[in-house]
Structure 1
Amino acid sequence: MADKGYTVLEFDGSIDDTPYPNHPNIHFYKAFVGVSDDASTISLARILAESKLDPSAHNILQCDIENAEWEILDAIVMQDLLAFAQIIFEFHGCDPDDLQGSILRLRVLEKLREHFTPIHTHYNNCAGICLGVIDSIAYPFCHSLEISYLRNDLVPSDARLVSGLASIALDSPCSANKADIPVIFPNPTPKS
């Protein structure tokens, strides 16, 4: 994205410096992203307030924050995310056997869906997989999902759901040593 002219604000408390120290469009901050501020963490709400994004620009938020995304998104005011045309999350801990975690995750996903439409899903093949059974058919499911969203007002009126096995150039295994996990959803039953 930085090579395409986007300004990139990179927050990562787990490394000392960006892997791209000489890139003029990448601004590195040694901090974790969380719900509240402390010595090593900055809140997503503060980042959004201080960055003064132009909501008419094509701003993109990409987060891979190792399971902190659920608490952050549960606490944030969703309207604060409307400055972004796209948001991309790697969602961790998607274990359907974890009832309490599933309740939180579903609540967060419902909040997101009010303002954003998922446009692409990819499973992270570094995470655990399981099988979900729907109508006696087993479908692979992954504990970490990479999901790209588009703000609802930008979704074309003629957009349609593409379901089933569909791999595009964007899809590639997160770990080259493991096979990619296909994303297969059952075709939705038409409502009568």
Structure 2
Amino acid sequence: MANMGYKVLQYDGSIYKAPYNHPNIKFFKKFVGTKDSNNTITLQTIIKQNNININSHNILQVDIEDNEWDMLENIDLKEVSKYFTQILFEFHNCNVEDDKLSQRRFKILEKINKYFTPIHTHFNNHGMIFYSKGLFLSDTIEVSYMNNKAIESFEYKSGFGSIVGLDSPNSTNYPEIPVIFPN
């Protein structure tokens, strides 16, 4: 994205500098969280401090190692939908066999679906892999969403989750896990 001329904002408190040196990348050594502190920052503050243009087609990518659930529970997604055409999440700790945890996750996913539609799903094969109800699954799932206001002009293709040339295993030591939507 940076090579295509887009401004990229990276937040990661676990590393000291951005993995890529590029004039379009601005790195912040902070974790994204549910409150502002010395080492965390909220998405609302990121939007405000960086003057995110509400009229641009902004993309939000979130991989915050299981903290995404707390962030999503404590955020106004209607407000987020004003700023982002696409949001991409790596959801951690997804285990369909844990009913209590799954119910919490489903409420959050329903909240997202009010403003965004999933357009692509990919299992991260580097997470915990398990077999449940006749399917191989991962506890880490990558989901790309499109803003519901923009979805009308999007050409959606149904079928299996893997798209040739788009998906690749997160770990080359393990096979890719196909996303299969049962009938």
CA apart distance, 1:51? 2.3
Secondary structure, counterpart of 2:120 in structure 1: strand
Cα distance 1:50–1:148, how it changes in 2: closer, same or farther (>3 A)?
same
Check conservation: 1:172, 1:180, Cα contact below 8 A: yes
Give unmatched runs, 5+ long, in structure 1: 188-192
Aligned counterpart, 2:166 = 170
Percent of residue pairs identical: 44
Cα-to-partner distance string for 1:124-175 (whole Å, 9 max, x where unaligned): 0001122332xxxx12221000000000111136855613364331100001
- Out of 137, 154, 174, the position equivalent to 1:141 is 137
User: In 2, distance between residues paired with 1:165 and 1:74?
Assistant: 26
Q: Does the 8 Å contact 2:10/2:28 carry over to 1? A: yes
Match for 2:177: what amino acid? I
Contact kept in structure 1, 2:127 and 2:138, CA below 8 Å? yes
After superposition, where does 1:1-192 map in structure 2 within 5 Å? 1-21=1-21, 23-82=22-81, 83-133=83-133, 138-156=134-152, 159-160=155-156, 162-164=158-160, 166-187=162-183
Q: Tell me the distance in 2 between the aligned counterparts of 1:131 and 1:162.
A: 24
Distance 1:9 1:157 in 2: 27
Alignment RMSD (CA, Å): 1.6
SS of alignment partner, residue 86 of structure 1: strand
The answer to whether the 8 Å contact 2:122/2:162 transfers is: no
Conserved in 1, the CA contact under 8 Å of 2:125 and 2:138?
yes
Secondary structure of the structure 2 residue equivalent to 1:53: coil
Gaps of 5+ in 2: none
Residue matched to 1:190: none
Instruction: Provide TM-score, normalisation by structure 1.
Output: 0.88
Preserved contact between residue 125 and residue 173 of structure 1 (Cα < 8 Å): yes
Q: What's the offset of the Cα at 1:45?
A: 1.9
Runs of 4+ in 1 over 6 A off after TM superposition: none
Point out the structure with max Rg over C-alpha: 1
Q: Which amino acid aligns with 1:51?
A: N
Cα pair distance change 1:184/1:53, threshold 3 Å: same
**Does the CA contact (< 8 Å) of 1:132 and 1:139 recur in 2?**
yes
